Amino acid sequence: MDKQLRTPPPYPIASVDHALRAATILQMEGETTVARIAERLGVARSTAHRILAMLVYRDFAVQDENRAYRAGPVLELAAHSRSLVSRLRAVAMPHLHRVAALLDETTNLTVRTGDTARFIASVECGQALRVGSREGMVFPADRTTAGLLLLADLPDGELDELYDPKRYRDRPGELPDLPRLRTELRRLRRNGFAVNQGRSERGLTAVGVPVRDRDGTAVAGLSVSMPGARYDPRHLRSLVAVLNTAARALEGDLAGEG
């Protein structure tokens, strides 16, 4: 059946349309400038600047040291494969619900995009004091449980390139101590799990394990988050066991879908 002809909505919102078009340009065409966006959209430079500033605020864009703009973590999910992300989320949801019910703690699924980690699914627990849903949030990969697990899967060369100081000229405070990070990642590879105590958010503790594809490559991290006051290190082994069981079941479902 032929697709119906698209027509503008009866009450178009120009600012929304401009933002969506700018995001599409960033995603499809790569690096751009305020002047180029203004020309493409037919708006003043001041308007283009405000549009790009909002896209940066919402992680749809980032600005580099040369003041040029490029696709941010949200749009870069396309490089991670939209089909993989949507498949991961759909297949993972039953497992997240099961873990959340069993442990009564908020459960998350996270992927890595460059040096950031993005939560693509989250199921809250039923406790009054709990960690809220993190779905859609983006954090530095080296500060999250799942992000660390996914970084641990990278060869040394890729890790060097990812944390090249040149990429952090305009944000030197965000560059991690690479030798220290390497030591930590080696330990994570040996252990097969990660524990994050207040690293991404104060008062929060998270425990996670990797989710791998058929080739053994870590494609996501499965984790539980809880208020730090409720975390008991004596229960770590049982937490990891539950997460690993769920991760293996999720991997089996992913492999079954092809």
Query: What pLDDT, in 10s, does the model give residues 28-71?
Result: 677 889 999 998 888 999 999 999 999 998 888 999 888 899 88
Confidence at residue 11, expressed as pLDDT on a 0 to 100 scale: 57
* Residues 60 and 72: beta-carbon distance below 8 Å: yes
**Residue ranges in the chain modelled with pLDDT below 50:** 1-7, 79, 82
Q: Measuring CA to CA, which residue among 44, 45, 62, 54 is closest to residue 19?
A: 54
Confidence at residue 78, expressed as pLDDT on a 0 to 100 scale: 53
Q: Look up the pTM and report it.
A: 0.69
Q: Measuring CA to CA, which residue among 192, 195, 257, 177 is closest to residue 231?
A: 195
168 Cβ contact list (under 8 Å, min separation 6): 174, 175
Q: How far apart are alpha carbons 159 and 70 in whole angstroms? A: 21
Q: What is the mean pLDDT of the chain?
A: 88
Confidence at residue 6, expressed as pLDDT on a 0 to 100 scale: 41
